Amino acid sequence: MDTQHPDLHPLYAEHLATLKQRADAALERGGFDHLVVASGQLHYQFLDDRDYPFCVNPQFKHWLPVTKAPGSWLVYTPGRRPQLVYLQPHDYWHVVPDAPAGYWVEHFDIVVIRTADEARAHLPADRARCAIIGEANAAVGDIVPNNPDAVLAHLHYHRAFKTPYELAMMRVASRIAVRGHRVAEAAFRAGESEFGIHVAYVRATRQTDTELPYTNIIGLNEHAAVLHYMHLDHAPPAHLRSFLIDAGASFHGYAADVTRTYAKDRSSAFQDLIDAVDAAQQDFCARVRTGQDYRELHLHAHLVLAGILREHGVIRLSAEAAVETGVSSVFFPHGLGHGIGLQVHEVAGFAAGENGGTIARPEGHPYLRLTRTLEPGMVVTIEPGLYFIDMLLATLKDKPVARDIDWARVDALRPYGGIRIEDDVACTTGAPENLTRDAFAAACAAVG
C-alpha cells in the first residue's frame, strides 16, 4: 500500500455504513429482501481454453477491495452483517486467490467455498426475494442475475457521490498514475518508441496491462490525432515532434485517468498551443463546484477552445461563430469529461435522479458522457482537447466556413496530431480538489 494516506479502518467502516443505507433504500424501492452481488466469472475465448483478463463486477468491489476472486458472491440483508461467499478453489493450474485479509474482513461473515456450485447453499433460499446483480454468465444453477432496474437505478445514481474512503483510494491511484506519467515523459524526451514508453510506464506504476484501469493511449506525432490510439509502434519515428499520453492506474478497485501532451521543442508554436489549452483546462477544473451544470461547462469549454484556435491563427471566425457552425466540434470532437471512480467511465452520467430518467446531451454534442449537475462528493474528469484529424477536417473543405480556416496553419500543425490534458477533480462544498494536480505537485516536491 502506498504511503501518505489515512487510517483506512474508520474510513472503511463509514463507507460500509453508507453502502448499507443505499442498499436498504434500493431494496425497499425494488421490493426485495436481499442484495446478492456476483463478483463475476471468467470469460473464455471462442474455441479455446484461454480466458480473457478477469474484470470484477464494479458493484462487488464497491463493498470490498477484492478484485481477483471470480466465482465469489456478496450477500446483504438489511439489519444483518454482510456475507462474503469466497471461492478459493483447489487448483494447481492457476494462482488461487489469497485468503481474505485486511482492514475490511472484520465487517463480514466469510464463508470459503472450493467449487463455484457450492455457493448455492450459502445464498438466500427464496431467490424471488433477491436482487441479484451481475452478468448472465455468473449464474450458478437457479442463482440467475435479474439486475432489477429500480435497484440498479438507485445504486448507480448514488455511486456518483464518493465517500471519504473512496476519495482516499482515488488519491492513491492518482499518485501511482503520476509516477508513471513522469517516467513516460522522460522516456519520450530520451527518444523512446511508443512501446518503449509504455513499458517504462508499466514498470513505474508496477501495474500490468490487465491491472491498469484501461489500455494506455501513447501516441507520438500524428498518432495523437487518434483519440483512442492503442497500436504502440516498436520503432520511434524518424522525427520526434509530440507526445500524447492518456494513462491511468488502479488502487483497491478505484481508477485514476490522466492525460498530458508534450512538445519535443519547448519553444515551438505547438508548445504555445499546449500552454493555452493547459491554462484553459485549469480554469475549467476550478469551475467544478456545487451547482455547476456539467453540460454548461462543456459548452463553455467549446467557446474557450474556439477562442484559442482564433488567437493562434487556426481560424478567423469568432469563437461564437465557430461554436454555432460546428467548427469547434471538428477540433474538439469529444466530451469535456465524465464521472470516474469504480469505473473509468462511471455509471449514471445521464441519470435524472435515483429513480432513473435521463438528462439529455446538448444538441450537436453526441459524445458528452456526463450531463448531471455537480454536487459534493462527485469526482469528474476535465479533459479538453484540440486535434487535427484529417477525416473531420475534410468535412469543412466544401463548406462556406472553409474560407475562415487558415489551412496553411492547419497543415503546419497536422504532424503534431493533437492535444489533450486531463485531470480528475472532486467537487466539494467549497473549492474543488484536483486529485491529479495535487499528485503532480507532491511528486515534484518529493524530488525537489
Cell of 129: 426475494
Does residue 434 contact residue 285 with C-beta atoms inside 8 Å?
yes
For residue 3, being part of any structural domain is answered with no
For residue 1, being part of any structural domain is answered with no
pLDDT score, position 2? 41
Does residue 231 contact residue 194 with C-beta atoms inside 8 Å?
yes
Identify the domain containing residue 317 by its residue range. 164-447
- Taking the C-alpha atoms of residue 221 and residue 233, their distance in angstroms, rounded to an integer, is 12
Residue-by-residue pLDDT tens, the chain, 448 positions: 343 556 899 999 999 999 999 999 999 999 999 999 999 999 999 999 899 999 999 999 999 999 999 999 999 999 999 999 999 998 888 888 889 999 999 999 999 999 999 999 999 999 999 999 999 999 999 999 999 999 999 999 999 999 999 999 999 999 999 999 999 999 999 999 999 999 999 999 999 999 999 999 999 999 999 999 999 999 999 999 999 999 999 999 999 999 999 999 999 999 999 999 999 999 999 999 999 999 999 999 999 999 999 999 999 999 999 999 999 999 999 999 999 999 999 999 999 999 999 999 999 999 999 999 999 999 999 999 999 999 999 999 999 999 999 999 999 999 999 999 999 999 999 999 999 999 999 999 987 6
- Taking the C-alpha atoms of residue 171 and residue 174, their distance in angstroms, rounded to an integer, is 5
Amino acid symbol at 249: A
Residue 201 sits in the same domain as residue 117? no
Indicate which CATH number applies to the domain containing 41: 3.40.350.10
- Please identify, among 105, 127, 158, the residue that sits at the C-terminal boundary of a domain: 158
pLDDT score, position 3? 38
Residue 154 sits in the same domain as residue 180? no
Residue 151 sits in the same domain as residue 176? no
Predicted TM-score (pTM) of the model is 0.96
Residue 244 sits in the same domain as residue 271? yes
pLDDT score, position 95? 83
- DSSP H/E element including 83: strand 83-87
- Of 331, 323, 335, 332, the C-alpha closest to 381 is 335
Indicate which CATH number applies to the domain containing 288: 3.90.230.10
Residue written as cell 512501446?
Answer: 195
Amino acid symbol at 184: A
pLDDT score, position 4? 53
Does residue 145 contact residue 38 with C-beta atoms inside 8 Å?
yes
- Please identify, among 158, 177, 202, the residue that sits at the C-terminal boundary of a domain: 158
Cell of 15: 463507507
Residue 428 sits in the same domain as residue 305? yes
For residue 211, being part of any structural domain is answered with yes
Residue 63 sits in the same domain as residue 206? no
Residue 277 sits in the same domain as residue 419? yes
DSSP E strand boundaries for 240-374: 242-251, 254-263, 351-353, 356-358
pLDDT score, position 35? 98
Neighbours of 269 (CB within 10 A): 15
For residue 437, being part of any structural domain is answered with yes
For the chain, the domain total comes to: 2
Phi-psi domain of 252 (left: phi exceeds 0; alpha: psi -120 through 50; beta: other): left
For residue 420, being part of any structural domain is answered with yes
Residue 83 sits in the same domain as residue 213? no
Does residue 370 contact residue 337 with C-beta atoms inside 8 Å?
yes
> Could you tell me the end-to-end alpha-carbon distance of the chain, in angstroms, rounded to an integer?
23
- Taking the C-alpha atoms of residue 135 and residue 132, their distance in angstroms, rounded to an integer, is 10
Residue 152 sits in the same domain as residue 175? no
pLDDT score, position 171? 98
Q: Is the dihedral of CA 282, 286, 287, 288 positive or negative?
A: positive
Residue 170 sits in the same domain as residue 64? no
- Of 314, 27, 309, 241, the C-alpha closest to 155 is 27
DSSP string, 402-414: GGGB-HHHHHHHG
Q: What is the CA radius of gyration of the chain?
A: 24
